[in-house]
Structure 1
Amino acid sequence: MSNFSRTQQIRKQVIWTEGGVVASQHRKAAEAGAAILAAGGDAIDAAIATSFAAGVVEPWMSGPMGGGMMTLWRAGEQKAETIEFGMRAPQGLDVSDYPLQPEKKAGDLFPWMRVEGDRNIYGATAIAVPGTVAGMELAHQRYGTRDWADLLAPAIALAEEGMLIDWYASLIIASATRQLAQDRDAASLFLIDGQWPNISGWTALAESHLDQRTHAKTLRRLAEAGARDFYEGEIARMIVEDVQAKGGCLSLDDLAAYRAQAAQPRTIAYRDAVIHAPSGLSAGAELVATLKQMEAAFTPGKAPSAESYTALAQALTAAYLDRLENAGDTGESPQSPACTTTFSVVDRHGNMVNVTQTLLSIFGSHVVSPQTGMLMNNGIMWFDPEPGKPNSLAPGKRCLMNICPIVGQAGGRSFALGASGGRKILAAVANLTSFIADFGMDLETAFHMPRIDASGGGVVIADETLPQDVLETLAGFAPVKTARRTVHPYAFAVPAGVMRENGRNCGATEIMTPWGDAVSEAG
């Protein structure tokens, strides 16, 4: 049952250009990266600028206090690579500080057994060692062509101005008001008198902005002192002081020991395409398994069909069951806010990257570090608090992430894409990969095509616009719940991608994201 219009149509135009393109969940972040491309920067330079800018204009999704991965393609060397910068549990973490309530389930993304007081979800006890800054540092060391400080300059300028609070920002903040009010510094940053921001009347044009000057000051310090200051210098001291003052166990040793790493991706030949899925503790292994099963399950026709969608649902279900058994992960509720951000970059030389970075939950731990002005992650929630499982909580352990940034080549086209949305990420990436590799779709067609999700729970979530024969065939495999693509919450993940063909580039973002856009270096 839905209150939404049945006649409204939403589309986003995809424009091809000979210049570079950045596709991001927030247009301002994409503009920051595109400006770096216009100044002659590499795709990696643009990605670093976009990463820090996204942490300002979408502070509840990602930022320096989070973690993630990037998968990149170097056109000149014809080489793919993954840079891993996931979060870790602090070494001083004591599992006994997370007592279980066996009769209850946790209330956020993962239905783990509940921890008393939700200490693994909210507050300083949910904070893991952040990795995003180290990831950007390593990418810059390996492939950057512009000064580090120049790449942080756009984010600093955005933070000085402060994020514009429009209707969408107000909606997101309103969805988390109760938890934000529990932390004095989060309440001071995001709320007004303990309530969500007021955007005035229906027709008002008055603007208001978050006060992110402390965030700007921290970024300025990071630009001047370098990335290691975040882990070994003044910024590290501020982070640890703030977290420990609020009851967390993050230490200076945890930060000083952290390093990102570069690794070979999981590369697979899929029909006539080559897909480079991410390495490490990502959803890369499950994407590879999904594609292998799909390749054997059906022969592509001219367009997606009941057969192809059902093969996708079956492959995703099998991949998730394997992940449950061997990786210790578990399911989510059918709908949730997209929490994480993803962006893709292609430059005029054909270098490509997708970065998927996150605080984990929307607003992370709902705790702000007052000395840095930044939201902290809640990476501890990624672990199963029940002992004796592959993904059980333990000191110093790496977080198992759902993210799946990929690059690939199919039908004379190269592409980079990823998605945000927790367990829904894999399904979105698999849908889009199939649309491109199986049916020869360009980016615009693929991003407007209805998708399915089969990320656990024994139910297939299907776009309500799919033909009836597709829905009926899916129902023969598993119970089907139809859903509409909306701006909040998201029944499906939120992708962003770029594509290159014959020396020309384009980008696309999820059609329902009101902030998301692809921006070329030409403006």
Structure 2
Amino acid sequence: MNEQPVIRGGAQAWSLSKPQVAGARGIVVAQHREAAQIGANILSQGGNAMDAAIATALVLSVVEPWLSGIGGGGFLLHAAADGTVDALDFNLMSPQGLDPADYPLAGGSDGDWFDWPAVRDNRNITGGSSICTPGAVAGFAAALERFGTMSWADIVAPAAQIAVRGMTVDWFADLAFAVDRTNLLGNSAATMLFLNPDLRLPHPDTASATVLPMPNKAAALRRLAQNGPREFYEGETADLMLQDLAQVGSCISAKDLRDYNVVWQKPQVQDYRDRQICVIPGLSGGPSLLRALSHLQDRQLGTLSDAEQSAAHAVACREAYEDRLKTLGHAAATEDCTSHLSVIDAQGNMVSLTNTLLSRFGSKVVLPQTDIVMNNGMMWFDPRHGQPNSIAPGVKPLANMSPVIALRDGRPEIALGAAGGRQIFPAVLQILSHLIDRGDTPETAMARPRIDASTATILVDRRAAADVATAISEHHPVQLTDDTVYPVQFAIPSLVQAGQGDGMAAGAAHPVSPWAAAVAAP
């Protein structure tokens, strides 16, 4: 990472950049360097893109547990080197015994522009009543079984080993704990695990951080490795989870865990210029992304100025979001916290995988016998009755996640996605456009100032040229803001791209995210 101080208004700001990484043996890009490094090691050991992706995702559940993990769910796209693309839905499922009447409205606004009415006691946002049946373990296992080459036990092992040692706790981890301290204090297991300094040990590699061992999570991961993924849904781990879930008022049952199934689909595909853009169909951010790209298809964006192009992106995103609200319903708030990783291997296979707990630390519930942080998937349902995506038993919610794979000449070229709730598809749209319409390198595309058009007021990165905000303001209200570590304003994307010459690929991570990294297989 390169840093340069900038003085603005008497305060010191920093201009950050992260050079792209190139390699011929594969690249992993993730929101934590240690996880990306594990994935790259898997590639160097002969594993393929899916092996690396699942190992990386499992490690992320340990090293950055407030964003994603085995207590969550998600989507992934796999592209074989021959251009065959498959989509996997392992999103969360509401409990079968759920009663919508248990989520009474507390009054408030009418729900326009995402301003949904509150639910009494925030029952859909925090605590046991906000938890949905997690799909991550089932999804990881199904993906590995279909496309991986390594054993489930070998892929789980690195995450279990890191859980024994402990996640790194530096200033960035402490920031995450501090941001949600009040909420974490509402759950005794979360308080003990994340806010108790007595549990921390000296870091073996650096004096500037400590480690936080997670012995119960390590034990759960070892059971998964030894007994297989059904252990999570029907074994000892399932029993321990159900005991703890009952203690916090969750209605998730043994039947919910036993009956959970992933869904394999063919992707929704749409041409954009000379590429074919593949997304998750149905209840994801993918259809909205494709609708926005359709809006841009007839514009010659490569000939436009930065201001004109940004204005075109803003109009396309707003039009797509308005349609999303009318036809699909809820698209949750910007505080969503998610992990995205993108992988390419030496043969040209690609994976684009997004995994989430929804909010930071999900439901704020840690299951004490397994150290698993649980999702708050109920937040993704519309709390009003009779609406698209209303709260209901045994169904999946509408999600913002939007992993993408782009094909060129029938071969996978780009694997891209982002974390950041409703900021995701506007960020993905702009980066795709920069790569395709401008011919940007991954590094340049990731470093360009972005806008966020997920709400009626368009956020514009203060680093953008002055005429960008002026051009957008002709159609929408505008607010200038900084691209900060917290709060995240323009999503956190991860990107790999093939076709860099001589069999090389390139990967790039979000420059502002402290832990995000692209790592090439050695």
Shorter-normalised TM range: over 0.9
Deviation at 1:211, TM superposition (A): 2.8
CA deviations on 1:80-108 (whole Å, 9 max, x unpaired) are 111110001000111121121113799xx
- Return the letter of the residue paired with 1:403: M
**How far apart are 1:185 and its partner, in Å?**
0.5
- Which has the higher mean CA deviation after the structures are superposed, 12-21 or 125-134? 12-21
CA deviations over 1:89-148 (Å, ceiling 9, x no partner): 000111121121113799xx9632111111111111110010011111110111110011
Give the one of 93, 116, 123 matched to 1:88: 93
Deviation digits for residues 349-369 of structure 1 (CA, Å, limit 9, x no counterpart):
000011110000000000011
Residues 67 and 360 of structure 2 are in contact (CA less than 8 Å); yes or no, is this contact kept in structure 1?
Answer: yes
1:134 is matched with 138
- The answer as to 2:498 corresponding to 1:508 is no
Structure 2 unaligned residues grouped into runs of 5+? 1-6
**3-state SS of paired residue (1:113):** coil
Distance 1:288 1:395 in 2: 29
**Equivalents in 1 of 2:475, 2:316: separation in Å?**
11
Over 3 Å counting, the alpha-carbon distance change for 1:282 and 1:442 in structure 2 is: same
Task: State the 1:181 CA deviation.
Answer: 0.6
RMSD of Structure 2 on Structure 1 (CA): 2.3
- Taking the TM superposition and a 5 Å limit, the aligned residue runs for 1:164-183 are 164-183=168-187
Mapping 1:65-144, distance limit 5 Å: 65-75=71-81, 77-103=82-108, 111-144=115-148
Instruction: Normalising by structure 1, report the TM-score.
Output: 0.93
1:15 to 11, 15, 21: 21
2:352 paired residue number: 354
In the alignment, the residues of structure 1 paired with residue 332 and residue 459 of structure 2 have an alpha-carbon distance, to the nearest angstrom, of 13
Between the aligned partners of 1:461 and 1:212, the Cα distance in structure 2 is 39
Whether 1:40 and 2:46 are equivalent positions in the alignment is yes
- The Cα of 1:330 is off from its aligned counterpart by 4.5
Amino acid aligned to 2:116: W
- C-alpha distance in 2 between matches for 1:241 and 1:323: 38
Contact 2:331 2:399 in 1 (8 A): no
Cα contact 2:92–2:396 (8 A) shared by 1: yes
**1:486-513 residue CA offsets vs partner (Å, 9 max, x unmatched):** 1111111000011111321121111001
Q: Which residue of 2 aligns with 1:54?
A: 60
SS in 2 for 1:328: coil
| Alignment match, 2:4 | none
Give the corresponding residue for 2:308.
Answer: 307
C-alpha offsets along residues 336-361 of structure 1, whole Å, 9 cap, x if unaligned?
4x610001110000000111100000
User: Which structure 1 segments of 5+ residues have no match?
Assistant: none
1:63 aligned to 2:69? yes
396 and 304 in structure 1: CA distance in 2 versus 1, 3 angstrom threshold = farther
Residue 331 of structure 1 contacts residue 455 of structure 1 at CA under 8 Å; is this kept in 2? no
Secondary structure of the equivalent of 2:246?
A: helix
Does the alignment pair 1:392 with 2:428? Answer: no
2:3 corresponds in structure 1 to none
Matches within 5 A, 1:261-272: 261-272=263-274
Contact 1:173 / 1:196 at 8 angstroms: preserved in 2?
no
Aligned counterparts of 2:151 and 2:165: Cα–Cα separation in 1: 23
Whole-angstrom distance in 1 between the partners of 2:297 and 2:17: 30
- Following superposition, the deviation at residue 15 of structure 1 comes to 2.4
> In the alignment, which residue of structure 2 is the partner of 1:26?
32
Q: Secondary structure at the match of 1:416?
A: strand
Instruction: Output the CA distance in 2 between the equivalents of 1:211 and 1:295.
Output: 50
**SS at 1:388's partner residue?**
coil
TM-score scaled to structure 2, two decimals?
A: 0.93
In 1, the alpha carbon distance for the partners of 2:201 and 2:215 equals 21
Deviates more, 1:391-400 or 1:324-333: 324-333
SS at structure 1 position matched to 2:239: helix
One-letter identity of the residue aligned with 1:154: P
The percent of aligned pairs where both chains have the same amino acid is 40
Contact 2:348-2:412 within 8 A present in 1 as well: no
Matched residue, 1:432 = 431
Q: CA deviation at 1:190?
A: 0.5
- 1:381 maps to a residue whose letter is M
The residue that corresponds to 1:237 in the other structure is 239
Q: Is the Cα contact below 8 Å between 1:304 and 1:435 reproduced in 2?
A: no
**C-alpha distance in structure 2 between counterparts of 1:238 and 1:317, whole Å:** 45
Separation of aligned partners in 2, 1:240 and 1:7: 47
CA distance in 1 between partners of 2:107 and 2:200 (Å): 37
